[in-house]
Amino acid sequence: MLTQKISHTQIADVKHLFEICKNVVIVTHTSADGDAIGSSLGLYEYLKKKGKDVKVIVPNFFPDFLKWMKDADRIIQFDHHKSQAKTYIERADLIVCLDLNALSRMEDVADAVVKSTAKKILIDHHLGPEKFCDVILSYPTASSASELVFRVIDAIGGLPQLTKAGAEDLYAGMCTDTGRFSYNSNDPDIFIIISELLKKGIDKDRIIRNIYNNYTEGRYKLLGYILSEKLKVLNDYHAAFYTLSKEELSRFNYMKGDTEGVVNMPLEIKGIKLSVSLREDTEKPRILVSLRSVDDFPANKMAEDFFCGGGHFNAAGGQLSCSLDEAVDQLYKALEAYKDKLSE
């Protein structure tokens, strides 16, 4: 039996809104990852089963290796279909915001969401949620938004309505946000949830293959280039980092998602506590920063202090409006500021 983490009042509020709604829009953060897509499609499956008209809207492109999920082809990409997406948001009577803690994480979708008169629910596991929704389910100790969606469905008595496809989506979201359950996954409840998802008939091994054995040839050539030519190991700081320019990405026929998970790899090096990726955005003039850490090093605090970002304790991100060289200089400032913490 699951430990009840979500308050009874919140569950009652969500259950009521799920019952009375007719037209639902589910939105998630920019550059949606496995948890964002998994939680969105998992909830989509559940609400569709209840007879609701449901649309999933993402701000921009999401990786090809997530497109095996049922109805992933029905997801509306806001930057390509603005008029259509705005129409759905305007006529919605319920908007569910998943896997984000701030309006800025939705980029251009945020304005339409704010203007909407629909009731709004936030389901998220990041620190410091902004109060722009009527019901806020914020639980930073959860492994993923997908875990929280499962908890909500279970708590309102909706598990019989969760389809096999929905269970696959939620498993995929939990799996990707925990690195195949290798971090942020010590809560025994997680494995109770997995057991319930398996009872729906999912093939967890096939799901893992769909996600992790479904990359492009270019990704692997790019990965080899990063590890052999770009990775810098800074033993004095117990850290490693790499940079990638737009020109380098183009050389390997880069597609969004090709660098997914690469920033975790340097943490496999003995003694490394922090790994950082500095990558030029292919669409906007900015540097995208990803930070991953182990043990007690606060990647989210470094992201907040030096990279205009934030996130989870061991997995965070940010962005800088500067050149790659200037981003490297900023990284060294961050490393020097946190040198004692990295050496502990």
Residue 106 backbone dihedrals phi, psi, to 5 degrees? -95, -5
Confidence of residue 298 (pLDDT cuts 50, 70, 90): very high
Q: Indicate the residue among 178, 212, 246 that finishes a domain.
A: 212
Is residue 1 one of the residues assigned to a domain? no
- Per-residue pLDDT of 242-254, as tens digits, reads 999 999 999 999 9
- Per-residue pLDDT of 12-34, as tens digits, reads 999 999 999 999 999 999 989 99
Considering its fold, how many domains does the chain have in total? Answer: 2
Checking phi first, is residue 134 left (phi over 0); if not, alpha (psi -120 to 50) or beta?
Answer: alpha
pLDDT computed for residue 215 by the predictor: 85
341 burial class (0-12, 13-18, 19+ CB within 10 angstroms)?
A: middle
Which of 313, 42, 74 has its CA nearest to residue 173? 42
The boundaries of the domain holding residue 155 are: 8-212
Confidence of residue 216 (pLDDT cuts 50, 70, 90): confident
Is residue 230 one of the residues assigned to a domain? yes
- Per-residue pLDDT of 253-291, as tens digits, reads 998 889 988 999 999 999 999 999 999 999 889 999 999
Beta strands in the chain (DSSP E): 23-27, 53-58, 76-77, 94-98, 119-124, 135-138, 232-234, 239-244, 274-280, 287-293, 310-311, 315-320
Which of 120, 118, 119, 125 has its CA nearest to residue 101? 125
For residues 150 and 183, membership in a common domain is answered with: yes
For residues 203 and 243, membership in a common domain is answered with: no
For residues 34 and 159, membership in a common domain is answered with: yes
Is residue 223 one of the residues assigned to a domain? yes
Confidence of residue 164 (pLDDT cuts 50, 70, 90): very high
Question: Whole-model pTM?
Answer: 0.89
For residues 65 and 153, membership in a common domain is answered with: yes
Which residue type sits at 320? L
Is residue 3 one of the residues assigned to a domain? no
For residues 280 and 136, membership in a common domain is answered with: no
For residues 144 and 280, membership in a common domain is answered with: no
For residues 173 and 222, membership in a common domain is answered with: no
Is residue 236 one of the residues assigned to a domain? yes
Q: Hey, what long-range contacts does 324-327 have (CB within 8 A, 24 or more apart)? A: 324/243, 324/245, 324/278, 324/280, 324/287, 327/243, 327/278, 327/287, 327/289
